[in-house]
Each structure stands twice: as C-alpha cells, then as structure tokens.
Structure 1
Amino acid sequence: MKNSFLALLFIAGIVSSSCSSSDDEDTTPAPVVGSITGIITTNTTFPSGTYTLAGIVKINPGVTVTFDAGSTITCDIATGDNALVVLNGGKLIVNGTASQPVVFTEKNKVPGNWGGIIMYGDAPITAASGAATAASEDGNVQTYGGTNPTHNGGTLRYVRVEYAGKKLGDGQKENNAFTFYSCGSGTVLDHLVAYKGADDGYEFFGGTVSATNLVSYGNYDDAFDWQDGWKGQLNSNWYAYQTGKGNFGMEVEASNNNNAFGPKVVNITLKRATGTTPEVDTDVQVDAFQFKKQGNGEYDNIVVDGYLNYTVGATLFTATVVRILDTSTNTDQVNGGKLKLTNVKITNTSLVDPTGAAGISVSFPVGNFTTSQSATGAVITNGSWSNVDGTNLIQ
C-alpha cells in the first residue's frame, strides 16, 4: 500500500512539472485520489483527497495513520466486509475541521453496509463475571482490556461515519458507526457524527476514554450504548436525533458487575422524531434511558423529547424517560445512590417519572432524579461537519 501511494504522488509530481508556468498559474495542489487496503505497517499520512477503502483495513501496533482535513473515504459493500480497525498500540489521527470534516461513507448509502471505525486499547474493563479481558464481538476476534488507563488510540476530530453497522464475519457479530474497545483517557474523541447506521451510533466496551460533542443521527439501534465497566469522566455535549428507526436513546449496562465507579456525562439531548419506530416489532425499545445489568453513572443537564408509547397489534408498549430493567440494578444502583440524573427537561414523552420493568418499583433517593425546565441539553454548533445533503443534523 505504501509503494502504491508513493507512486501516486510521483505521477502527480510529473504531471505538475510538465505544465507550463505563468504568472497566474494556480499552484494549489490537486486533491489526491487513492485507495486504502490491507494491513498498514508503516506510518502513513493521507493528504486531503478522495480515497476508496476496500476490505478490513487494520492499523498495526506501533503505527500511526493520519488523515488530513477535507478527505472523503468511501467503501463499497460489493467488495465484501469493509471496516477501519485500529489495533491496540496503533493510532488513528483524523484532523478534520468544522468546515472540512473527514467523512467515511459507503457508496450505496445504505445503513449497515460497512463496519465503521473500530478501535482497540488496553485500558481497564470489568466484563462478565468481573473479567479483566474479553473477546470482541465484532467479528475480528480481538482480546481487549488491560491495565493502562491512559491508553492513546489517537485523535478523532470532526469525523463523520455514515451507513455503518454491518455484521462482519459470521454475520452474528455487532458493529456500530464508532466502536471503542477498552480505549483509554489518552484518546481524543471530539466533534464526531454517527449517521444512519444499522446498529448503535457509539458503543464503548469498558475503558476510560471520554468524548465531547457527539452527534448520533438516524441510527437503527441505540444512539449511545456501553458495557464492561466503561467509566469515562469528561463527557459533554451528546446529541441524539432518532428518526425512521431507533431503539433507546441511551442503553446503559455494566455486564452485571456492581462497580464502585460509573461514567459521567453532562449536557445531553435525546430526541425522537414523530413516526420513529423500533428497529423491530418483536423487541420493542422506545425509552429515552434504559439501565440494566448494574448500569449506573451521573448525568446532568438533560433534554428528553418525543419518546411516546408504541403499539403492536393490540399490545401497548409504554415509553418513559428512564426505565430500570432488573431488580439488581434498582437495588444496587438506584437505591444505592450510584445512579443520578439531574436537571432533566422532559417534553412530548409518555411517562415522565422513572419506571421499572414489571414488578419493579423505582424510587430514586432525594436529589438523584430532578427535573428542570431551564435545562439546555447539548449545545453544539452546526457546520459542514454536521450537515448531510443540505440537512443540518442538529435539529
């Protein structure tokens, strides 16, 4: 891949030098066109341009791959499984800007046509039964988890991932627009868009990484999802707009571990457009927040809008601002004071009080669930980075 890329630049240089010069000659370099395939084994920078990504491209440990602002990287389901994978020890640096984001997309513009961006690290996790490591569920069969809370998988700024969520490999595994396996606090995630994927917008599998200015738009499953003891502490400005199909605004679990810690997220907006349906009618999920398997955390300055009841045949499924799905989560996290949602503004939503699954009575300790009509939710500025085909994603 490196040799092909150098050859591309060499040819471009010959063409440029063969042109006659004049005082008014445009010296702006032509955008680069190229392809990205296979395993990347040496540090590589992709200048601003248009690229085709074919296959499951992996960034090896010890290797840094950089994309300059304004690039578009397109894959095609006709080539089979496609994804960009950062192996533990590798780094992905994406230098997008508000006016020149870096866009990863799919040729046919069909949700679920590729695997998105997948990053592995070695930050701590608590998987099922308290395990410190686990096998990834993305079809790549990678081990994740470790003892390095400051793991650095790179910097993603002003990045948009479109039409992801493909099940790779055996067709049973899960991928999202952005998937982070045990990534650490040295990783920077800022101004990201997950657009019309067939699974979650963002999913965290343990780790300590935090993320700011996230947009999840039109993803079929949950806007935000995590498990395995993810404990990012500096998260802010998360915005979800569920339209067409969509399940929970936020699905929170901790792999059945009653952890002494939890994540913190401030400035959250969860919106569900009129007419949005669950992903499938056989598993109806229509709540703004769902907590299960010991999911906990602290959440503040929240706007919830549009989470309404849904009917399948003669069965009514109620929608609520917060649902506690199991007794252990209610006992250990709600009653134990390790789950807090404060300054919540609720509009156009069927049930405005936290609700339990059948047989579970939910009563937050005083001050741990509070409402406020002055809550602002996420405050994020639209720009080219959050505009697709003329539509601003932040509604």
Structure 2
Amino acid sequence: MTNIHRSLILGCSMLALAGCGGDQIASPGTGGDIIINNPETSTPSPTPTPTPTPSVTPANGCPTINSTGGLTDSGTISGDAGDYRVCTLPASFDEDDTLPYIAGLVYAIDGRVDVGTDGGATDTGADSDVTLSIEPGAILYGVTGRSYLVVNRGNQIDAVGEADMPIIFTSRDNVLGLSTDSSDAQWGGVVLLGRAPVSDCRDGVFNKADQAQCEQELEGAATTTLFGGNTPADSSGTMQYFQIRYSGYTLEGGSELQSLTLGGIGSGTTIDHWMSFNSSDDGTEFFGGEVNMKNVVIVGASDDSLDVDTGAQANLQYVIAAQRSNAGDNLIELDSPDGDYATAALPRTNLQVANFTFLERSNANSQALRFRGGAQVSLVNGVIDTDTETCLRIDETVTMDQDPFFASVVADCDASAPFNGGSGVTATEVQTLFDGSADTDSAFTISLMSSFINGSSESAWTAYDPTALSSYFDATDYIGAVADSSDTWYEGWTCDSATLSFGNNTGDCTALPVY
C-alpha cells in the first residue's frame, strides 16, 4: 500500500547533501518545485516537517463497460487526498459488468442504480441474470441522499475486496473531506434482494400454501420493488472485505435504508468481513431470508445496530457493534409478526449470534437487546458492555414462549434496572430467564482491552460450543468477538473513528484510503 505522503528522491544521498547545490526538484503530485539550498554552516538547522500535500491525481478517463449508456465521465472531484476522476454509473446494469480499481478514479451512484431487473419470486428462465463485479480498492459514492444501489432478484453482486484493499461505499461529502465522526444520512446504501422466504406478505394473506406467493416490498422505494419467494438457498452474490459509510438517508414515506439492507436473500449469498459506519438508521436490517454472516463490524448506527424481522433465519458469528455516544437505540432489535399473526405468519424470525462484543453507549433510556413479536433467538459467547444501561427487554408472552436461549454471555447491566419487560412480561421474568441460563452473568466486571479485545476476565470465562446451534458456526473456546491481542481478523479492512479504533487498517473513516 502506498502512503499518501510520498518521499522525495533527491538524486544524491543525505550524507552528500551539502555538495548537491541549489537544485530544483519536482515534488510528485504537485507540479511545483522545491528549492534545496546548501547549509551555510557545518551544523544544519532543524528541518521543519513539510506540509502534507494531496497525492491523488485524476485518472485519464473512465473504463468501458457493457451496460447500456456505459459510464459517464463527470469531470473531477477534489478532496483531502487529491483529485479524482468521477465516473457516473448508469441507472441500470443490464449486462454483466466489472468496475475495476483505477488509481485516481471514483464511481458515482447518482440516484437509484439497479443491478438487473426483478426476475420475480421464482426463476422462470427469463431472468436478466446480471452480475456486477467490483474490484478490490474501488470507491463508490452516493451523489445525493437519495442515491442507492439495488441488486434485484435473480441478479448478483460480486464485490470482493481484500484485507488490505477493501471496497468502499460512501458519500460525496466523505470524498470531499467534509464528513466527520458524527456525520450520517448522506446517501442511501446498498440493497440486496432475493427469493428466500419472508413471513409478512404484502397483500396481508399469510402462511400461503405456496410460499413463492408471499412477497414483500422494499421500504421507501419510489417504485414497487419486491423480494421474497420460496428458494431458501438463493444467491444474491458475494460481498467480502468492504465498508459502507455515512448511509441511511430517508426516502419516500419516512422510510430509511440501512448501510446494508437485505430483503429475502438466501443462504447461497456470501457476506463477511464488512463494516458499517455511521448509518443514520440501522447498521443492517434483515427482512426475511436466510442470512449467514461472519466478521461483522457495526460502528455508530443512529438506530439499531442489528435489526432482524419479517421471518429472517439468521446466523452471525464474530460481531463487534459499538454505538456513538448519545446516539443509537438497541444493539439488537428482534421482531416477528405479533398478535394474531404470531402463529399465522411463517417462518417465525430466528436469530442466532455467536462470539459477539456489544458496546452500548447511547444513554437514551433504551436497552442493549430488545426481543418481541414471538421471535426466536439464541445468543452465545457474548460480552455486553452497557455503560450502565438496561441489558435486555422482552415484550409479549409469545416471545417468552419461544424460550430465548443464552449461554456464556456476560454483561455489566445497570444495577438499578438490569432487565425490562412489556406487554405481559415482567422485568423479574426476564432476569430469571437470563441469569438462570448457562454460564451467564449480568453483573460482570468488564476487562476489555481497546474496548473490544478480551481481557483477563473475559478470557477466563467458560465458552459454549456454537456448532451445537448451527453447522455454519466455527467451534470456539472463548467468549466475545476477539479472543485476545493475537486475534486480528478485524485488521486492514476497517477504519478508525472517535467511537472505535482498530489500529492497522485503512486509516480514519473521515478520509479515503490511497493505495
């Protein structure tokens, strides 16, 4: 990886600098001159640290793609890192295409951009079958708040970054260098849609004989955008080693997108090693589908870090979620159709999370976890650092009837109100459920290092074997998302902020990486 601030090769060694004379040497990326004068005494004066200068220069033009209209050369954009060529995406990808990484080039998402057209709830053989591939290091940004990328049913995305060269989805302000550690809602986000089952049919008729007839509609879209079907193993593609920053703009009807919005995606979809930063709504939301994820980092969501509902069947392992100070609601909000629909709308939402570290910092009189609607849940090998907040709230007896499962979960809950209940569930019942589980502790003394790495207290705690819940999970002998200082799965592809810093990574979330 090339550093932003490049060294000048002076053409003679520093030991022989006094004999170089007053040469003029062009500084890379500036087009100007630097005058180096001979010192007048044998003891040189201290050399001031040079002022950093932008190092990115715009690419010469936009690459050629196959889709109708191609890429539009929209000139250049200037930020802290330098100048970039802007290549605006077409409104729709109607052919297989690749967005290559090119130094000094960014891709603009101007409004809604579709990958393929909706192929319907079942594969009739007439799908558009478009795959959008994105190379490691590529940067895509939303031009306006209403800009977002949608991968429609029957189509796929292949966005695979690398540990030291992640793909960045971000906002125009971030490219310009205007975003801060508290910015959010600067563009829409990324949406993946598929044909896996959902529970809430948009026509209000639930538990149909043919699940493929139960479809749901993407919230906030100006045009009808459907997802769902009866293909649990459906694939919407692969996304690995990527960041989604500053997303969550409010669309039509007051609805907001998340960093990553998943509607009815199937278990054939691969998603891992990804980071949500400062989403104005949820870090990610699952509307139905069969969702598997590993190595997830969610920082600074203004609402919930994880929102799971509409019959989603979800397995997540190695999850770090951290709220901004005085921002955010729940770290997990879990829901399923309640009331008369609790037994009629199937599948019932089922969330399983193993090896997680949650940092509750909202101070908004909320709770770290909220379960309701008769959803099913299993949480194992977890650390919840609440900063004196309520740990768990469960609403409705139908949710308690699903036997929420906890094993090897520790937390430093608010001593005065560690648990809460609602709609027929009491706080005492919730506390009895949690503290009566295997190897749990709601009054644990947190010893985390760097806010998310296990310390001595966490390392000494007995772990649960998560493979007992799902074959998707790895067997682990520790609680929390990060076992110790030698466990560095989060390094390289993340970014730092005032909320949470990860060390060896792409730099600050307020700036763009330069390779």
User: What TM-score, normalized to structure 2?
Assistant: 0.62
Give the aligned partner of residue 29 of structure 2: none
Deviation at 1:264, TM superposition (A): 1.8
Q: 1:349 to 1:390 in 2, by over 3 A?
A: closer
Write the distance in 2 (CA, Å) between the matches of 1:207 and 1:153. Answer: 11
Give the aligned partner of residue 57 of structure 1: 113
Give the aligned partner of residue 161 of structure 1: 244
Give the aligned partner of residue 119 of structure 1: 192
Kindly indicate whether residue 462 of structure 2 is the aligned counterpart of residue 371 of structure 1. no
Kindly indicate whether residue 291 of structure 2 is the aligned counterpart of residue 209 of structure 1. yes
Q: 1:307 to 1:222 in 2, by over 3 A?
A: farther
1:47 alignment partner, one of 100, 104, 120:
100
Decide whether the 8 Å contact of 2:196 with 2:265 is kept in 1: yes
* Amino acid corresponding to residue 37 of structure 1 in structure 2: P
Q: Which moved more, 1:138-147 or 1:209-218?
A: 138-147
Write the distance in 1 (CA, Å) between the matches of 2:437 and 2:392. Answer: 13
Kindly indicate whether residue 140 of structure 2 is the aligned counterpart of residue 73 of structure 1. yes
SS of the equivalent of 2:398 reads helix
Kindly indicate whether residue 493 of structure 2 is the aligned counterpart of residue 385 of structure 1. yes
Write the distance in 2 (CA, Å) between the matches of 1:90 and 1:393. Answer: 36
User: What TM-score, normalized to structure 1?
Assistant: 0.80
Deviation at 1:137, TM superposition (A): 1.4
Aligned residues: 346
Write the distance in 1 (CA, Å) between the matches of 2:259 and 2:195. Answer: 21
Decide whether the 8 Å contact of 2:158 with 2:239 is kept in 1: yes
Deviation at 1:93, TM superposition (A): 0.7
Kindly indicate whether residue 206 of structure 2 is the aligned counterpart of residue 130 of structure 1. yes
SS of the equivalent of 2:132 reads strand
Q: 1:367 to 1:113 in 2, by over 3 A?
A: same
Decide whether the 8 Å contact of 1:305 with 1:349 is kept in 2: no
Identity of aligned residues (%): 26
Kindly indicate whether residue 93 of structure 2 is the aligned counterpart of residue 36 of structure 1. no
Deviation at 1:268, TM superposition (A): 1.3
SS of the equivalent of 1:364 reads helix
Give the aligned partner of residue 147 of structure 1: 230
Give the aligned partner of residue 315 of structure 1: none
SS of the equivalent of 1:211 reads strand
* Amino acid corresponding to residue 287 of structure 1 in structure 2: Q
SS of the equivalent of 1:210 reads strand
* Amino acid corresponding to residue 493 of structure 2 in structure 1: W
SS of the equivalent of 2:254 reads coil
Write the distance in 1 (CA, Å) between the matches of 2:70 and 2:198. Answer: 38
Kindly indicate whether residue 326 of structure 2 is the aligned counterpart of residue 326 of structure 1. no
SS of the equivalent of 1:329 reads helix
Q: 1:391 to 1:344 in 2, by over 3 A?
A: closer
* Amino acid corresponding to residue 173 of structure 1 in structure 2: S
Write the distance in 2 (CA, Å) between the matches of 1:391 and 1:304. Answer: 16
Kindly indicate whether residue 274 of structure 2 is the aligned counterpart of residue 192 of structure 1. yes
Deviations along 1:235-271, one digit per CA (max 9) or x if unpaired, are: 2011101013110010001122345672322111110
Write the distance in 2 (CA, Å) between the matches of 1:237 and 1:4. Answer: 41
SS of the equivalent of 2:399 reads helix
Q: 1:85 to 1:54 in 2, by over 3 A?
A: same
* Amino acid corresponding to residue 141 of structure 1 in structure 2: T
SS of the equivalent of 2:493 reads helix
2:372 alignment partner, one of 288, 292, 313:
292
Q: 1:365 to 1:107 in 2, by over 3 A?
A: closer
Write the distance in 2 (CA, Å) between the matches of 1:93 and 1:57. Answer: 16
Write the distance in 2 (CA, Å) between the matches of 1:368 and 1:254. Answer: 23
SS of the equivalent of 2:374 reads coil
Give the aligned partner of residue 5 of structure 2: none
Decide whether the 8 Å contact of 1:295 with 1:329 is kept in 2: yes
Deviation at 1:344, TM superposition (A): 1.0
Decide whether the 8 Å contact of 2:491 with 2:502 is kept in 1: no
Write the distance in 2 (CA, Å) between the matches of 1:88 and 1:149. Answer: 13
Decide whether the 8 Å contact of 1:165 with 1:198 is kept in 2: yes
1:237 alignment partner, one of 318, 343, 346:
318
Residues 178-189 of structure 1: matches in 2 within 5 Å? 178-189=260-271
Give the aligned partner of residue 105 of structure 1: 170
Decide whether the 8 Å contact of 2:355 with 2:481 is kept in 1: yes
Q: 1:391 to 1:265 in 2, by over 3 A?
A: closer
* Amino acid corresponding to residue 124 of structure 1 in structure 2: P
Decide whether the 8 Å contact of 1:63 with 1:90 is kept in 2: yes
* Amino acid corresponding to residue 191 of structure 2 in structure 1: I
Q: Which moved more, 1:159-168 or 1:352-361?
A: 352-361
* Amino acid corresponding to residue 440 of structure 2 in structure 1: T
Decide whether the 8 Å contact of 2:169 with 2:243 is kept in 1: yes
* Amino acid corresponding to residue 141 of structure 2 in structure 1: T
* Amino acid corresponding to residue 333 of structure 2 in structure 1: E
Give the aligned partner of residue 270 of structure 1: 358
Q: 1:69 to 1:32 in 2, by over 3 A?
A: farther
**Between Structure 1 and Structure 2, whose CA radius of gyration is higher?**
2
Q: 1:260 to 1:37 in 2, by over 3 A?
A: closer
Give the aligned partner of residue 312 of structure 1: none
Q: 1:387 to 1:239 in 2, by over 3 A?
A: same
* Amino acid corresponding to residue 355 of structure 2 in structure 1: N
Deviations along 1:264-290, one digit per CA (max 9) or x if unpaired, are: 2211111024xx344xxxxx5x21110
Deviation at 1:97, TM superposition (A): 1.1
Structure (1/2) with the larger strand percentage: 1
* Amino acid corresponding to residue 192 of structure 2 in structure 1: M
Decide whether the 8 Å contact of 1:215 with 1:394 is kept in 2: no
SS of the equivalent of 2:409 reads strand
* Amino acid corresponding to residue 264 of structure 1 in structure 2: Q
SS of the equivalent of 1:264 reads strand
Kindly indicate whether residue 381 of structure 2 is the aligned counterpart of residue 301 of structure 1. yes
Deviation at 1:64, TM superposition (A): 0.2
Decide whether the 8 Å contact of 2:72 with 2:87 is kept in 1: no
Write the distance in 2 (CA, Å) between the matches of 1:377 and 1:33. Answer: 41
